[in-house]
Structure 1
Amino acid sequence: MIALVVLISVTILVVLLSRRPDQPHQPWPIPVPDTGSLPLDGEPVAGLVDLEAVGEAMIDAGYSVTGVRTALTDIARVNGQPSTEIVVLPTALFVSTRRSGDMRTGTVSAGHDSLLLHQIDDLDDVVRAARALPSEPGAIRAAVAHVRALPPPYSPVQRVLAHMLLSAGLAVMLDGSWAGVAVAAVLGVVVGSVLLLTENTERQYRALITVGMAFGVSVCVFTLTRSASTPVCSPL
C-alpha cells in the first residue's frame, strides 16, 4: 500500500509537469566568419577571452580536467591557432595564445559558480559547435554568458516537492513503515529547502553544508528510532 501511494503521487506529479509549457530548445548558432575575411597570418578568430569563458564554464559544470583541455585545444585549432598552450586545474585555467607574434596569457579562477543540469546541457551544445567550426571574436563568450543566465526550469516549490518524493521513495525501497515514509518525506522537505537557501554559497563551503545536513538527518532518524523502541513504563 505504501509503495502504491508513492507511485500514484509520483505519477500525478509527472503528469502535471508534462503539461507545463516547455521552452523551445534553440541550438546555439555561433556566428561563423566569412572564410575570405580570415587573417592571412593564421591569427585565431576566437580570441583569448572566448577560450577563458568556455573553459571556466566547463570547470564550473564539472567537466574533467582532460575533457576541458581537449575541448579548448580543439577550439583553438579550429580557429587557426594550434600552438595554443592550455593548463587546466580543478579551480584554475591558464591559456596562452600567440597573436601577431606576441604571446598572450590569460588566467581564470574557476569552480566557484556551479551550473544546473539544463545549463550544462546547453553548454555542451556550445562546446560542440565551437569545436566544429571557427567563430567570430566574442561569439563563444556571448553564448556562454547566455547559458549562465538561463533561469531554473522549475520553481522552488517544485524542487522541494521533488526532494520530498525522492526521500519518500527511498524509504519505500528500504521497506519503511507509514511513519518512516512520513518522516522521510518531512526530512526531504527540510533538506530541499536548505539546498535552495544555500545554493549561492561558495563552492568550498558546500561540502560542510552536505556533511551538516547528513549529520542532522542522521541524528533525527536515530533519535526517533530510539524513542519509538524505548518501552514506556507505567507506575504501579
Structure 2
Amino acid sequence: MTALPPSSSPPHSSPLRTASASHGVHLGGRLRRAIRALTEPPPPGVIEEPGELPTVPADLVPLLRELGAALLSSGQSVMDTEQQIGDIAQAYGADQVRTLVLPTGVFIHVETAEGPESDFTGPDTETTLPLHQIGAVDRLVRDLSTGTADLAESRVRLRQILAMPPLYGPLAVVLGHALLTVGFGLILYPAVDALPAYVVMGALVGLLRLLADRWPTLSTALPVVAAFLVSLATITVVAPALDTDPIRLLAPPLVSFLPGAVLTVAAMELTSNQVIAGASRLVYGIAQLLLLAFGVVAAVTVAGPFSTTSTSPLLGSWAAWVGVLFVAVGHRYFSSPPRGSFWWLLLALYAAFAAQTVGLVLLSPQLSGFVGGLVLVPVSQAIARARTGPPAIVTMLPAFWLLLPGALGFRGVSELATGVEAGATDVIDTVLALFSIALGVIVGTALTRDARRVGRAMVRAVTPTP
C-alpha cells in the first residue's frame, strides 16, 4: 500500500478555522493600532517652508466678518467662535488666517496672493439673538464648513437669518415670560401662596421688555427699572400679604435679566486660559447683577425696612421637576427656539437638572453643577446628531439658565445690599457653582470628542480591508 504524503495542515484543522484565526489576528492587530493611535503622543512638528500664498474668493473675508458678528451675538464662547471661523477659512483655501476673538469684536487677517486682507467687526446687537436665529446661524456655519456653499448666497442667507421675525407674537412672549417666572419660582422658592404673584410679576416684566424694545431710552435702564418695580411691589404688597421673605421672591420675575449664561461662558473662557475674553465677560455679568441690585436698593430705600421671616408653606421636592416643565414651555414662547425643537429642549433641560440633582446627592450644592455640565454636553451633541434635533447651542443656552448661577448671584448681591448676613455665603456659592459648571462643560466636551475619536477608530479597526 502506498503511503500518503504528510499534510502541511495541523491535525483536525479546516480552511474555515484557519480563516477565522487569521481574521482574529488581523482584528486584534487593528484594535492594537487603534489604541496606539489614541494613546501615543503626537509626532514632533515639522517646520515647512512657506509656500505660495493662496487665492481666496472675494466674498470670503466680508462673509467671515459678518459671520463673526453673528456668532458673537449668539452667546458662544470665543474658543468656539475662533474655531468655526478658522474651519470655514480653511475650507475655502485660506490656510494662513489669523483671528482674534473678543466678546466685543472679531479681528480677521488673511494672507492671500493678492495681498493681506484684514477686517474688524463688533456684534450685530447688544442682546443675544433669539434661539431660532442662533439655530439658523449654526446650520449656515455647518454648510460653510464643507467648502461647497456659495459665499455670495451665504452672505444673503445670513442677512435673511438676522432679519427673521420672532416665531410668536407679543402676547405669547409675555405669556412665555410669566411661565418662565413660575418655573424658576417652583425651583428656587416653591411657596404655595407665591404662585399667583409669580404669574403677575412675570407678565409685568414681560410687558416692560416689550415696551423697551420700542423705546431705546427705557431699554438702557431696563434692568434697574424692572428690579425697582418688582422689588417695590414685593416689599410693600406681595410679601406682607403672603407673610414671606421678599428677597426670595425677587429672582424668578427677573430671570430674563440674570446673566447666568454670560457668567457660565465667562468661567469657561477663564478656565480655558482666555483671560481677556473671560475677564471682560465676567465684569459685564457682574455689572448686570449690580444694576439689578441697585434697583433693589432703591426700592428698599423708598419702601423702608421689611421683615425676612416666612410662614408661607412650601411644596415638596416634586415641585422643582414640574418647574423644569414650566421653564421649557416658557422658553418655547419667550426665547423662540426653532420649530420642532421643544421636545428636544425639554429632554436637555431634564437631563441637566437630573444630573445636577445627582451631583447634589453625591457632592455638594456648590459642586453639583459640575455633574450637570458634564452630562449636558454629550446630551446636546447627541440631540444635534438626531435627524430632527436642533443645534447643540440651542439646547445648551437654556440649560445654562437652569443651572442657576445667575439667580444665586443676584440673591447674594441683593442680600448684601440690604444687610442680610447670608449674602456673602450666596456669593461664594455662586463663584464655586460657576466654575464647577464651566469645568463640567469643558470636561464633557473633551470626553465627547475623545469618544468620537474612539468610535471612528473602532469602526476603522473592525472594517475588513478590501
- In structure 2, the partner of 1:130 is 144
Question: In terms of mean alpha carbon deviation, does 84-93 or 108-117 score higher?
Answer: 108-117
TM-score normalised over the length of structure 2? 0.37
Q: 1:120 aligns with which of 124, 127, 134?
A: 134
Q: 5+ residue gaps in structure 1?
A: 1-39, 231-236
1:96-175 equivalences in 2 (<5 Å) = 96-110=109-123, 112-113=125-126, 114-171=128-185, 174-175=189-190
Question: In terms of mean alpha carbon deviation, does 45-54 or 212-221 score higher?
Answer: 212-221
Partners in 2 of 1:124 and 1:172 — Cα distance?
32
Letter in 1 for 2:107: F
1:81 aligns with 2:94: yes
Partners in 1 of 2:214 and 2:131 — Cα distance?
16
More strand by share: 1
Q: 1:176 aligns with which of 186, 191, 196?
A: 191
1:41-56 equivalences in 2 (<5 Å) = 42-45=54-57, 46-56=59-69
| Cα contact 1:54–1:140 (8 A) shared by 2 | no
- In structure 2, the partner of 1:216 is 229
TM-score normalised over the length of structure 1? 0.70
Question: In terms of mean alpha carbon deviation, does 107-116 or 86-95 score higher?
Answer: 107-116
1:28-39 equivalences in 2 (<5 Å) = none
| Cα contact 1:90–1:111 (8 A) shared by 2 | no
1:70 aligns with 2:83: yes
- Residues 137-173 of structure 1 deviation map (CA, whole Å, 9 limit, x = unaligned): 3232212111101110111101111222332344455
Letter in 2 for 1:141: R
- Residues 37-65 of structure 1 deviation map (CA, whole Å, 9 limit, x = unaligned): xxx97322352101001111000111111
Question: Structure 1 stretches (4+) deviating beyond 4 angstroms?
Answer: 169-173, 227-230
Partners in 2 of 1:212 and 1:93 — Cα distance?
32
Partners in 2 of 1:89 and 1:200 — Cα distance?
29
Partners in 1 of 2:88 and 2:214 — Cα distance?
31
Structure 1 residues 172, 75: CA separation in 2 closer, same or farther (over 3 Å shift)? closer
| Cα contact 1:42–1:81 (8 A) shared by 2 | yes
Equivalences, count: 187
- In structure 1, the partner of 2:16 is none
Cα RMSD (Å) of the superposition?
A: 2.6
What SS does structure 1 have at the residue aligned with 2:75? coil
Letter in 1 for 2:231: S
| Cα contact 2:55–2:114 (8 A) shared by 1 | no
Indicate the structure whose relative CO is greater, using CA pairs within 8 Å and at least 6 residues apart. Answer: 1
What SS does structure 2 have at the residue aligned with 1:154? coil
Give the deviation of 1:85 after TM superposition: 1.3
- Residues 88-122 of structure 1 deviation map (CA, whole Å, 9 limit, x = unaligned): 11111111122324111111122534311010011
Partners in 1 of 2:172 and 2:146 — Cα distance?
37
What SS does structure 1 have at the residue aligned with 2:56? coil
What SS does structure 2 have at the residue aligned with 1:86? strand
Question: In terms of mean alpha carbon deviation, does 211-220 or 152-161 score higher?
Answer: 211-220
Q: 1:191 aligns with which of 186, 194, 205?
A: 205
Question: In terms of mean alpha carbon deviation, does 104-113 or 181-190 score higher?
Answer: 104-113
| Cα contact 1:126–1:140 (8 A) shared by 2 | yes
Instruction: Give 1 or 2 for the bigger CA radius of gyration.
Output: 2
More helix by share: 2
What SS does structure 2 have at the residue aligned with 1:62? coil
Partners in 1 of 2:149 and 2:54 — Cα distance?
14
Give the deviation of 1:182 after TM superposition: 2.1
Partners in 2 of 1:183 and 1:227 — Cα distance?
10
Letter in 1 for 2:108: V
- In structure 1, the partner of 2:303 is none
Structure 1 residues 105, 171: CA separation in 2 closer, same or farther (over 3 Å shift)? closer
What SS does structure 2 have at the residue aligned with 1:100? coil
Partners in 2 of 1:144 and 1:43 — Cα distance?
24
Structure 1 residues 82, 153: CA separation in 2 closer, same or farther (over 3 Å shift)? same
Letter in 2 for 1:218: S
Identity %: 25
| Cα contact 1:92–1:111 (8 A) shared by 2 | no
